């Protein structure tokens, strides 16, 4: 057993690379990372002097900046725009990047590795992160004010052409997960009988609703 562990460590150290600008292991902090489904790409967020940058590592190539601190400010302007989530589309062509302004606004941008373009798509004042369809390049996001009367807007975006469709439901969405045939939602259902109260439920919305 000891011999196998040592061999594994030697292999890992042999392929390990340091972060850009680092020396002897000292350097910027890795705040988040996301590996693509095949492992071909790894996107990661580094923090230097309270600013975030998104870097891309591709097998056999040198790491490069995907989104600089200045570019992140253009997506969601603030002194120090904070990346809170990274996620790959099933095809590995697109990377969603959620950028927070430190207050309430959270905007999700999509990076197209094929064209090099980055475009902000989803803006929310609450709810959970944007999430990809399990087998196609469809991105879903919610916008919820988290009160009893406003309800929730749910967005479906086609990443390739940036087209979006929005539906509205009367309940307050707390979380969601795309599956093969639709969205599973965790919602708060409010009632005024007796008094203002709510209960939590799991509901299903088919993709056919986005028309």
Instruction: Grade residue 89 by pLDDT with cuts at 50, 70 and 90.
Output: very high
CA 43 distance to own-chain centroid = 11
pLDDT at position 146, please?
55
For the cut 80, the answer to whether the pLDDT of residue 128 exceeds it is no
Q: In whole numbers, what is the pLDDT of the chain averaged over residues?
A: 80
Instruction: Give the residue-averaged pLDDT of 100-105.
Output: 65
Q: What is the pLDDT of residue 7?
A: 36
pTM, rounded to two decimals? 0.79
Q: Which residues contact 205 (CB under 8 A, 6 or more apart)?
A: 154, 167, 169, 182, 183, 185
Give the mean pLDDT of 41-65.
Answer: 90
pLDDT band at 164, cuts 50/70/90? Answer: confident
Res 162: pLDDT: 77
Handedness of CA 157, 159, 160, 161 (dihedral sign): positive
Query: What are the pLDDT digits (tens) for 35-49?
Result: 999 999 999 999 887
For residue 34, is pLDDT > 80?
A: yes
Q: Where are the beta strands (DSSP E) in the chain?
A: 29-35, 41-48, 51-58, 64-67, 82-88, 94-100, 106-112, 118-124, 131-132, 138-144, 152-158, 163-169, 172-178, 182-191, 197-206
Q: Is the Cβ–Cβ distance between 165 and 139 less than 8 Å?
A: no
Report the alpha-carbon angle 175-67-142, nearest 5: 20
């Amino acid at each position: 057993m000891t011999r196998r562990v040592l061999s594994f460590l030697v292999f890992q150290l042999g392929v390990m690379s340091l972060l850009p600008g680092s020396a002897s292991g000292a350097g910027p902090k890795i705040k988040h990372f996301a590996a693509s489904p095949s492992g071909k790409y790894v996107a990661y967020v580094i923090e230097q002097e309270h600013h975030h940058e998104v870097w891309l590592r591709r097998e056999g190539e040198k790491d490069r900046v995907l989104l600089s601190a200045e570019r992140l400010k253009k997506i969601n302007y603030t002194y120090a725009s904070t990346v809170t989530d990274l996620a790959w589309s099933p095809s590995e062509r697109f990377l969603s990047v959620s950028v927070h302004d430190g207050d309430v606004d959270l905007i999700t941008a999509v990076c197209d590795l094929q064209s090099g373009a980055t475009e902000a798509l989803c803006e929310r004042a609450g709810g959970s992160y944007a999430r990809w369809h399990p087998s196609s390049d469809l991105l879903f996001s919610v916008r919820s004010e988290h009160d009893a009367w406003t309800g929730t807007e749910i967005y479906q975006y086609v990443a390739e052409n940036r087209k979006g469709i929005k539906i509205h439901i009367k309940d307050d969405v707390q979380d969601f997960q795309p599956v093969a045939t639709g969205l599973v939602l965790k919602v708060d259902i409010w009632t005024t009988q007796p008094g203002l109260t709510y209960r939590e439920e799991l509901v299903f919305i088919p993709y056919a609703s986005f028309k």
